[in-house]
Amino acid sequence: MLMPNVAAPKANALADRIRTFLTNAGVTVKTFNFDFENPGITPDLDESDLLIVIGGDGSLLRAGHFCAPLGIPLLGIRSGRLGFLVELDDSELEQNLEKLLKAEYRLECRMMLRTELFSRNTLKQSWNVINEAVVCRGNEVHPIEVRVDLNEGYLNSYIADGVIVSTATGSTGYALAAGGPILPPELRNILILPIAPHLSLDRAVVLAEGAEVNLFPTIKHDVVISIDGMTPVLLQDGDRVHILSNHHSLYMVRFGEHNYFYRNLAAVMQRNPILEMEKHD
């Protein structure tokens, strides 16, 4: 299935190129035009062997939420700013699609998290997480208090703008902007990082895959939880956020060498993608 982001200017043109190439090769292609303004509308992935998303890293994350629980691999085609997750751009697109049809690729397995929101020990909501779960302040510009417990017991209490619990994939997202370490994508670790901590431990903590994290926010004003940058959910007094490794993984199609991550990392870190976009406007 093709999933172009309708808000990305080049996405529809790239979708036409991909659709034409695959149809001429005898492949049945379905299209789902993803609209960020209506995220509740989801694609029907029954009988799909692959989801090709056309957009940026944000589009890829949304697509991953659709396909990961079904075990369907994901291929990202860039139509916007340079990112860490998407695999291809419009250069040599057809050549790489030819490799895809010849099975000249590998599947990269990315660890995911499961986040559960409990209200006084009653499960209210749960999410699959590719990048990160963030518990942070809402509209009011005040730090919040969050206690963090692990399987083994109490870890730390933070007074901060929030706390990020991230996968290795998410270490190049919000966690990187908050000063966290960059973890290679194949690592199956959980990263805990405070956002702008005040008189609190300011170091990131890296946990093993089997760890379980419980966040206990103190509600004195608005506190929210956001999953992979999606619409935040307001937390209530007595809420607990439970985070652990997910039995689902995200499978991403890769054509390049195994050290591609460090090559892309160097490219992203050496220039500002926003400035690069403005040069071409």
Q: Any idea which residues carry the catalytic annotation?
A: 57
Amino acid code (one letter) for 148:
V
Q: Please state, in angstroms and as integers, the Cα–Cα distance from residue 208 to each residue in 13, 141, 167, 196, following that order.
A: 43, 33, 11, 24
Rounded Cα gap, residues 155 and 6, in angstroms = 44
Q: Do residues 8 and 63 lie in contact, with contact meaning Cβ atoms separated by under 8 Å?
A: no
Rounded Cα gap, residues 171 and 176, in angstroms = 6
Q: Do residues 2 and 45 lie in contact, with contact meaning Cβ atoms separated by under 8 Å?
A: no
Beta bridge partners, 133, equal: 165, 227
